[in-house]
Amino acid sequence: MALDDVAAGGTRKLPMLDRRRIVGLGAAGLVTAAGVRTAGWVNILLGAANLIENGDASVSESAYGTAPRQQYDVYRPAATPLGEARPVVMFVHGGSWQSGDKSLYRFVGQALAQLGFIAVLPNYGLMPEQRFPGFVQDVAQAFAHAHARVAAWGGDPRRVFVMGHSAGAHIAALLCYDARYLAAHQLSTSNVTGYIGLSGPYDFVLDSDLLRATFAGPAEREYDAQPVHFATAASPPSLLVMGRDDTTVRPRNTTSLAAHLRSVGGRVEELWVPGEHGATVGAFARVSRSDSVVVDRVGAFVRNG
């Protein structure tokens, strides 16, 4: 499996006239004009998406634990009609399990709020300090903390979805499919209304130093790292979104998980879009989301859930 290139790090200022073009490239696949992906360029693209973001959702930060990264941001629509409880979407960022930050995805939080949803964006422990399954346990703790507060935010605790991109999609899938993570907080996968995976690794081989450092160990540990092993007929309904040209997370991850879900009687939808690894999350940038099939499909999936 190739790795997720979305990484935290420095940025450099962009010429004003290039910002819209660069974000457009991000929506198309988070690539440079020459088609070469680099972590630095992805940082610039994410920064550009946030730079031109003008959403008016209210944003607050909460701690769900005592570790420095055990925090999440909550985005709430500017106007919430009286008596109307909003669906809630928790979005888990990517970054190869070793980098990334919720602040890089402010545009996703604002996009979800613009759709009328309450968005929760957690941070979680990263490699090398936090190996598998620690980062999944962090997100489960964040989910439980947020779930207990959904109603106070004007949300509907019966309609809570989990979405993730790349490594975040992997973490979110394990949260939704492997019942042990939520059971540790007296919750179950039935408390998740639906799962949305954007360019996620679900059924992969430990064929790189990073993957081995993150997941390798006894056979049981390596088995437990694969979301495909835990998908059942009782799993939350799933929407799997994938770029046809993705060379970072191989498309076979999506086809394998979708086929397995169907074989066991699970509910699954697939959405295949043009573009590379970042196309699925870049769709939420302000310049893209008004006519994005990804945003439309995610919105419909949540509203109909």
pLDDT at res. 41: 57
User: Is 283's pLDDT higher than 80?
Assistant: yes
Q: Which CATH class is domain 16-303?
A: alpha beta
The model's pLDDT over 240-256, given as tens digits with 9 standing for 90+, comes to: 999 999 999 999 999 99
**What is the DSSP track for 49-99?**
HHHT-----EEEEEESSSSTT-EEEEEE-S---TT-PEEEEEEE--STTT-
User: Is 21's pLDDT higher than 80?
Assistant: no
According to DSSP, the residues that pair with 165 across neighbouring strands are 198
pLDDT at res. 116: 95
User: Is 13's pLDDT higher than 50?
Assistant: no
pLDDT band at 56 (very low <50, low <70, confident <90, very high): confident
According to DSSP, the residues that pair with 160 across neighbouring strands are 88
pLDDT band at 80 (very low <50, low <70, confident <90, very high): low
User: Is 11's pLDDT higher than 60?
Assistant: no
For 66-90, b/e burial (b = at least 16 CB within 10 A) is eeebbbbbbbbbeebeeeebbbbbb
Break the chain into its structural domains and give their ranges: 16-303
With the CA atoms of 173, 302, 304 and 259 taken in that order, what torsion angle do they form, in degrees rounded to the nearest 10? Answer: -30
Closest to 201 in 3D by CA, of 163, 228, 230, 239:
228
One-letter amino acid of 196: I
What is the mean predicted confidence (pLDDT) over 85-100?
96
How many other C-beta atoms are found inside a 10 Å radius of the C-beta of residue 8? 16
Cβ 45 vs Cβ 282: under 8 Å: yes
User: From CA 253, how far away is CA 242, in angstroms rounded?
Assistant: 9
Closest to 47 in 3D by CA, of 9, 79, 81, 17:
9
pTM value surpassing 0.85:
yes
